[in-house]
Structure 1
Amino acid sequence: MSDRAARRLATKTALGACLLVVATGCAVLPEPTADEVQQQALGYTTIPPNWSAQASAARVDEGWLASFNDPALTRMVHEALAHNPDLLMAAARVEQANAQVDLAEARLKPALGLLGRAGSKPIADLVPLLSGVMLRLSWEIDLWGRMRYARNAARAARDASSADYRYAQQSLAASVARAWFVANETRMQMQLAAEMSDAGTRLVELSDQRLRVGAGTQTDVMIARTNLATYQDAQQQIELAHRQALRALELLLGRYPGATLEIAGTLTPFPAPVPAGIPADVLDRRPDLIAAQRRVAAAFDLVGEARAAMLPTLSLSAGYGRISNEALEIRDDLEQTTSTVAATAVVPIYSGGALTGQVRLRTAEQKEAVADYARRALNALDEVEDALTAERVLAERERILGDAARANRDIVRMEESSYRIGRSDLRAVSQRQLATWAAEIALLSVQRERLSRRVDLHLALGGDFGAPQPPDAGAAPATQ
């Protein structure tokens, strides 16, 4: 058998050994399922079959944004999805996670490269004088699953990043809705403040008239002017709050915060009641909990990778190429083609405790990921219970404050009439005006809070906002 035939046989034998090693390599343990993670994280917690607060157990609705029936709000949500910097950062993190998966998968595959060399040395130094090209193949055999664990961890981290992005989309839609409600509330407060200033101006004029005809006093005039100044000061404060609300909304939309956004000045009508499903469904539906579960899986894979790193490694390499040199041309017994096959095994013996320390570190990280899942799950259930309770309480408060505001408006009209005919003093009118204004402001606050809490409920339940693309909303974001 010639040397060339022998080398070819050795190459085939090595490749066959590679395939045998891969086929009989150590199996990678499966990641914990979502149910297993829930059982491990929430084994101490008893999750009831229904919510403590009264709610329908029907399936949670999707597309909650449409339930507000506010085209302007829908357009703003789409604008924020397309231009919000925080969401763009989350999208970039998903791309990074995808790239990490590609890198992890690439380590499992052979590396093929072309090695070229050219040079000139004195004749006495033949090796550096050689020049040529060689095709080189190198491959680290994943005997114990170390690289497969790393790949699976990268995939789990990618899944977590994707779920984080979906939750970021939902959170952004909810933030835009809440900011929109606040901006409309402050706009309506400005209208109330303007009405109170007008009423204060009328009282100043009325007190001046009564003083001129001898039916009033200088004290009444001073009281009326002091109250007017108070109303005007409150009007300035509310205008500042309104501009701040506009800037907060513009930042969410990715716009320059110039407080130039046009606001209708009316609160969105409160939608109909929504079904809340059952508590167990929230754990499987919310993207942030899905992300936490996938991080537990990634931590599990990293533990497997650390343990496999304590075992021997095997790397194979092969090369085939052609070399040329004047010295070779002089001798006929020197071939101008060359091939190599090599195997390298590394057995860890002593690393100063680094390998065992890495296992302990990864194990502690896995425990942390499980605890983090438990924390997030309990917080999610608390958010739903809190939002459901707020639905009932705020509805009752709106009814009570609505009755109080209407009664105060009637009393103000009667007190103003009594003051005109001299049957009551200005203090009673002023006090009743302040009480009416406070009731109106409180009513607006509760109405806006109900809308915001409804958004919180949708977000806590994990329902997708599912905003349909409006015809004039510009570029649409990626589908969820």
Structure 2
Amino acid sequence: MLKKISIVGSLFLSLTSCIGYKSATPDKIDSLKNSSTIMANTAIPAKWIQEKNQDQPSFSYAWMNTLLTLDLENLIKEGIAHNADILISKEKLNQAELAMDIAGSSLYPTVNALANTNNNLVSGSHIGNLQLKTNWELDLWGKNKSAEMVGVSQYFSALSQQKMLEQSVAATIAKTYYLNIAGQYQEQKIRDFIAKTEDLKKICAIQNKVGTANMLDLSSIESEIILLNSYLEKIKNGNAQSRRSLEILCGKYPEGLIKVYSKFSPLKEDIPTNFPLNILEKRADIMARQFQIESSFYEVQEAKAARLPAINIGASVGAAETNVDGISNLFSNPLIKIGGGLTTPIFNGGKLRKNVEIKTARQKQLVEEYAKSVLLAFNEVESALANLSSIDKQVVFQQQAISALEQNIALTKKQIDVGSSNNFVLLQKQRDLIKKEMNTIDLHLQQRIERINLYMALGANGHLR
């Protein structure tokens, strides 16, 4: 009868395990996020939240498509596979996964083998035993389950951080790729500028011979050519360093020998004016913060459960022998034990209560860090949009200035034909044109970099992967 009662009691305790466990449901996590003091003072514009609770159509990143060339795509694939930071991060992710598995093992019974022997050298008596012992803490209050979920949340936080790192590496490769293209343009333009200045020197030398120029003019041009060659060397070194950066990002030895054969493609697709808030909320770094909040939710729950009584069930199966010659006789005296115990904290100097307070404070900290991440994400989007708008206007003004100067150069050539102007004036204007074209190259580079920044700020939905 007692045996039946014991079995029924054990089953009952098993069925009622984790009665104190609470899951971190989306509503509970949203409630924690909404408790942020930072967000309480932040009014989110209507353009972000007006469609938050409605089904969103697939958000289009078509405005990024023109940036993803075949060369760039191959470089990004190579970088994701071989970048040193990504490889290190993957090992950290493996550690987080193993830690998650370890945390989950506390939900199951532990089984250990025990063997010992004692010999009395005076009397000659001998006692030996062999046992299998198992122990199981009934998770009545969800302490062990919460500990497991802490590990699960931390793993998914690490997974999101890994995704963010891969996106950042891909974006950096893309920026460096376009920096290489711009560098090649700039190097060619400065060579053209030097060539025009050399032509000026030749004309000035002729003018000096006929008395319409002096040695001071010629010396000034020669000095300018020297400085231009110095600047060209600086550009060439900068381009070589840029190539090394691209190589190291892709996991290659930084020789500076990688070649980028491409050019700036026209940016035909317009950038959307409104963005759904749920896209921003799914940013990898923000998701990592959210999983950290989930982890803290379970940590608080675990700390609270640690203050409650714990019930353990233990059992052992084995055999004992004394002064027996053969091991075959070991099981002639079997031992079977089963029992349970209850442990409850009474006095520990307030350690467990303080631990709950610490975990709760940690939870509030993570909520505010999440809010800060969201606020920074808004800033990154708004800054990228403002920069793009300004750069687009600058490009228009710069192109208008180039067109006006090209017309002026065409008129100057006509004046030369009729003898009312000369090649010296023409070369000066052609050099001014090269300067403006160099400024335009820089603006085109900034356009592409800011598009990549906006793409990253919106969550980088896999296009640069």
User: What is the rounded CA distance, in whole Å, between the counterparts of 2:82 and 2:7 in structure 1?
Assistant: 53
User: What is the rounded CA distance, in whole Å, between the counterparts of 2:266 and 2:7 in structure 1?
Assistant: 72
| 1:82 and 2:75 aligned | no
User: What is the rounded CA distance, in whole Å, between the counterparts of 1:63 and 1:166 in structure 2?
Assistant: 21
| 1:391 and 2:403 aligned | no
Structure 2 partner of 1:212? 209
Structure 1 partner of 2:11? 19
Superposition pairs of residues 247-286 of structure 1, within 5 angstroms: 247-264=244-261, 266-275=263-272, 277-286=274-283
Residues 24 and 69 (structure 1), Cα distance of their counterparts in 2 relative to 1, 3 Å cut:
closer
Percentage identity across aligned positions? 22
User: What is the TM-score with the length of structure 2 in the denominator?
Assistant: 0.87
Residues 236 and 418 (structure 1), Cα distance of their counterparts in 2 relative to 1, 3 Å cut:
farther
User: What is the rounded CA distance, in whole Å, between the counterparts of 1:443 and 1:410 in structure 2?
Assistant: 18
Structure 1 partner of 2:60? 61
Residues 37 and 187 (structure 1), Cα distance of their counterparts in 2 relative to 1, 3 Å cut:
farther
Structure 2 partner of 1:232? 229
Aligned 8 A contact 1:61 1:274 in 2: no
| 1:30 and 2:23 aligned | yes
Question: Partner of 1:107: helix, strand, or coil?
Answer: helix
| 1:457 and 2:454 aligned | yes
The amino acid across from 2:221 in the alignment is A
Aligned 8 A contact 1:70 1:268 in 2: no
Displacement of 1:17 in angstroms is 3.1
2:284 to 268, 283, 287: 287
Residues 135 and 65 (structure 1), Cα distance of their counterparts in 2 relative to 1, 3 Å cut:
farther
User: What is the rounded CA distance, in whole Å, between the counterparts of 1:98 and 1:442 in structure 2?
Assistant: 50
The amino acid across from 1:39 in the alignment is N
Residues 224 and 433 (structure 1), Cα distance of their counterparts in 2 relative to 1, 3 Å cut:
farther
Superposition pairs of residues 388-467 of structure 1, within 5 angstroms: 388-408=385-405, 411=408, 432=429, 435-466=432-463
User: What is the rounded CA distance, in whole Å, between the counterparts of 1:432 and 1:123 in structure 2?
Assistant: 114
Could you tell which deviates more after superposition, 150-159 or 273-282? 273-282
User: What is the rounded CA distance, in whole Å, between the counterparts of 1:184 and 1:307 in structure 2?
Assistant: 59
Displacement of 1:318 in angstroms is 0.6
Displacement of 1:94 in angstroms is 2.3
Residues 311-361 of structure 1, C-alpha deviations (whole Å, 9 max, x = no match): 2222221111122221799xx9x9611122232332212222321221121
Aligned 8 A contact 2:196 2:431 in 1: no
Residues 14 and 92 (structure 1), Cα distance of their counterparts in 2 relative to 1, 3 Å cut:
farther
Residues 229-284 of structure 1, C-alpha deviations (whole Å, 9 max, x = no match): 12111111111211121122112111111111102262243241243653422343
Residues 102-125 of structure 1, C-alpha deviations (whole Å, 9 max, x = no match): 111101100122222345442648
Question: Partner of 2:35: helix, strand, or coil?
Answer: helix
Structure 2 partner of 1:478? none
Structure 2 partner of 1:477? none
User: What is the rounded CA distance, in whole Å, between the counterparts of 2:272 and 2:227 in structure 1?
Assistant: 46
Aligned 8 A contact 2:66 2:265 in 1: no
The amino acid across from 1:405 in the alignment is I
Displacement of 1:374 in angstroms is 0.4
RMSD, aligned α-carbons: 3.2
| 1:344 and 2:341 aligned | yes
Displacement of 1:132 in angstroms is 3.6
Residues 22-77 of structure 1, C-alpha deviations (whole Å, 9 max, x = no match): 3224321221525334423334433233159xxxx974225876442510011011
User: What is the rounded CA distance, in whole Å, between the counterparts of 1:211 and 1:188 in structure 2?
Assistant: 34
Structure 2 partner of 1:73? 72
User: What is the rounded CA distance, in whole Å, between the counterparts of 2:219 and 2:170 in structure 1?
Assistant: 50
Aligned 8 A contact 1:112 1:138 in 2: yes
Aligned 8 A contact 2:82 2:251 in 1: yes
Structure 1 partner of 2:374? 377
Residues 259 and 139 (structure 1), Cα distance of their counterparts in 2 relative to 1, 3 Å cut:
same
| 1:362 and 2:354 aligned | no
User: What is the TM-score with the length of structure 1 in the denominator?
Assistant: 0.84
User: What is the rounded CA distance, in whole Å, between the counterparts of 2:207 and 2:412 in structure 1?
Assistant: 16
The total of aligned residue pairs comes to 450
* Unmatched tracts of structure 1, length 5 or more: 1-5, 469-480
Could you tell which deviates more after superposition, 268-277 or 200-209? 268-277
